Structure 1
């Protein structure tokens, strides 16, 4: 593929009276022409629309992916708004079935209310839809689990001709349907495995990054859930290790009404590091928009404390704000070498960073197109924030391009729902089941109705 300058696009001004559904969440891409949105109210309406219409179709979900993943061709095609097909469909003692367009927040709230959780730990935010999370590979942290799609027991889809297909875990095409890039059909229902909720105590500490290469895998092997934020300029890491809470901690948590329990002692050892990052963020974004949310995402590393709560209270506490977020999965066994390369590159270039490098590791995924397919994986995440005028600083853009090249050269697989320069990757070489996925696509959508310019170039 040719290099695109739109790998990290700037925000565009909104048009007066514009249908907000025609913009992606980050407001850096138009998804289709006016009048291209169709919003069926029932599964039957959706089936009827697909069986009696033609042209390309893409699902907009919560619109949190880059625009190129969602948008349809200029002047033609349909954007499906499936927000009316949302909510709980059914449940048993150990399963829940939700409509595909249900926000993850609603899934988590239902499970928490009955003392349950998914097998997969959550990502940092929960605004995305269940179908979108599966289709792009949304994941949490911890080697004992993988992406949210790993908790799926069955997936119900409406195909391009309006017929309905059910895919159980033992179906030969299930690994393709698990993470489909919206290219196989419309996910209208997902049955998920539920388990008894675990109450975790998350211990937070600041450590020197000198031995990060060795410590990262050890932390992940020795703890149930781990997340780390690496500040290369100050050579510091804030690491969270979460394990099952003690009986006393659970009692204190329950006595507080099940609200997140913050422990008494705070740690201020990273406050100077936080202030240094905030100065660079303020300088580069020239008056951050969105009510200062980018600033708040960084200040949360100040005066941190251990906490006790369920998995969603501990980890699903992100502040959703438009940004360019690049996340690349690297085989865990190679993560130490990648960290060393980033250290060497950072020492030479000294780039200005708006946010620490995010380090999350997961176990293998069955999904053929999952970045963690068949291997323990360390995800390296990088964030650059927009200025109030919608621009990206030249420093921020250069930083993302340079660091992505480093990870791509190491065999990295980018997160599909985030930003990446597709020219850097040899997809069939990265994904052993790439051709198997393409064969499933040809069988389920032979006319490529669910393609757009981006996925057509990717898969054709």
Structure 2
């Protein structure tokens, strides 16, 4: 086990009464509790920002790595926007929410109105709306991209305390959509909505022999698709969803609009999952057989097709402290990249206790989106913390090595997850990098919304 390796911090598994604010995973402190301010209104937020002489970061749900939020000096401010939440306005094709609204509330409110976002959800819905935009949270399916791509307008409080609104016609909108918290504090977001759809999701287990082409086919032939690749067992668990037929939708509605599971189940993944659980138990030393890390894979045993709305089908994650690395690869070279990983895996036989997660999206209009202007496949890698808060040395070595493989082929890391910044040439990866830096300078010339992480990125 390792206490800290490759930039992956040790976790403190027990709550600490040290006067500090910890991130959700409890592997980083964000600042002193005395630094937290919780404005009740936008006007109060304006006054607070205008009067501040230190740095300011928004905490959100604190699910990002600590470096995204961390403060250093007395006089700095951690903003808690949990009071600025809820639905503010509705039109036939849009809904405006306060920036501090958790995603699960956005989804619940929209579902209650018979509406949905055109962007499919990520697996976890605890993030705040503003935080999801700031880090590029995304789902799966080539017909959509990140949640930020469904923003029609964004309202922010700027560094001088003034309020500005940006819509899709504004020349800076591509920067504001995904701003890494470095341009201003998002207080309102107007999102495009559409009538709720019912989906039938087919689940299957297949060999990974032809994954290079199969992954493309699943994403071309279905509205939404997600896959879990188990290289050690040469097996893939795939979900492929299409809009439900009239009969399927009727049976779903007869089930009180609850997720409808087919009676027929498959045990095709059971042996693979048992082997995966064995690795996980060895790595984590967690004694609870029903612990959260184990539940993330046991759900693949005895699986069945399901019918439900997009949130019931795909927003199924189990929030578990982990090191999560996700690298975006252009879809055009995804097959080639899978081949490289297969060859690298065969040659090195790395130790891994969780499958590789494969989610594809359509092009994004956000300047700093890993999917900017191109169809993209996100390769996700997970290592769970051990019971004592440490990480498997082999797991850490695997993450470092596989990230190097993907960085070499032009991969772009997910901003809200872990990555090794020295591996990436940001200005070469992002055509609008210099433009974003100019917008940042114009909106926050004193870099009030910076911390060590964003300063290193942009300065």
Q: What's the secondary structure of 1:32's corresponding residue?
A: strand
Instruction: Show the 5 A alignment for 1:187-266.
Output: 187-266=186-265
2:17 corresponds in structure 1 to 17
Contact between 1:289 and 1:387, CA under 8 Å: does it hold in 2?
Answer: no
2:421 corresponds in structure 1 to 422
Contact between 1:253 and 1:259, CA under 8 Å: does it hold in 2?
Answer: yes
Q: What's the secondary structure of 1:10's corresponding residue?
A: coil
Instruction: Show the 5 A alignment for 1:271-350.
Output: 271-287=270-286, 292-350=291-349
1:107 corresponds in structure 2 to 106
* 2:156 equivalent to 1:162: no
Q: What's the secondary structure of 1:48's corresponding residue?
A: helix
Contact between 2:13 and 2:387, CA under 8 Å: does it hold in 1?
Answer: no
* 2:449 equivalent to 1:453: no
The Cα of 1:36 is off from its aligned counterpart by: 1.1
Task: Give the distance between the partners of 1:277 and 1:31, measured in 2 at CA.
Answer: 34
Q: Deviations over 1:437-460 (max 9, x none)?
A: 000000000000000000000011
1:145 corresponds in structure 2 to 144
Per the alignment, do residues 49 and 288 of structure 1 end up closer, same or farther by CA in structure 2, a change over 3 Å counting? Answer: farther
Cα RMSD between the aligned structures?
A: 1.4
1:401 corresponds in structure 2 to 400
* 2:87 equivalent to 1:88: yes
Please give the TM-score of this superposition, normalised by the length of structure 1: 0.97
Contact between 1:19 and 1:34, CA under 8 Å: does it hold in 2?
Answer: yes
Structure 2 gap segments, 5+ residues each: none
Q: What's the secondary structure of 1:282's corresponding residue?
A: helix
Task: Give the distance between the partners of 1:6 and 1:58, measured in 2 at CA.
Answer: 25
Instruction: Show the 5 A alignment for 1:427-438.
Output: 427-438=426-437
1:68 corresponds in structure 2 to 67
2:355 corresponds in structure 1 to 356
Give the paired residue count.
Answer: 456
Per the alignment, do residues 423 and 290 of structure 1 end up closer, same or farther by CA in structure 2, a change over 3 Å counting? Answer: farther
Contact between 1:206 and 1:270, CA under 8 Å: does it hold in 2?
Answer: yes
Task: Give the distance between the partners of 1:263 and 1:14, measured in 2 at CA.
Answer: 41
The Cα of 1:419 is off from its aligned counterpart by: 0.5
Please give the TM-score of this superposition, normalised by the length of structure 2: 0.97
The Cα of 1:352 is off from its aligned counterpart by: 2.2
Task: Give the distance between the partners of 1:44 and 1:307, measured in 2 at CA.
Answer: 46
Q: Deviations over 1:98-132 (max 9, x none)?
A: 10010000000011111111010000010000000
* 2:150 equivalent to 1:171: no
Task: Give the distance between the partners of 1:18 and 1:65, measured in 2 at CA.
Answer: 21
The Cα of 1:280 is off from its aligned counterpart by: 0.4
Contact between 1:288 and 1:386, CA under 8 Å: does it hold in 2?
Answer: no
Contact between 2:6 and 2:400, CA under 8 Å: does it hold in 1?
Answer: no
The Cα of 1:16 is off from its aligned counterpart by: 4.4
Contact between 1:288 and 1:294, CA under 8 Å: does it hold in 2?
Answer: no
The Cα of 1:33 is off from its aligned counterpart by: 2.6
Q: Deviations over 1:306-355 (max 9, x none)?
A: 00000000000110111000000000011111111111111122222221
Per the alignment, do residues 289 and 271 of structure 1 end up closer, same or farther by CA in structure 2, a change over 3 Å counting? Answer: closer
Task: Give the distance between the partners of 2:309 and 2:43, measured in 1 at CA.
Answer: 38
Q: Deviations over 1:51-86 (max 9, x none)?
A: 122110000000010000011114441111111111
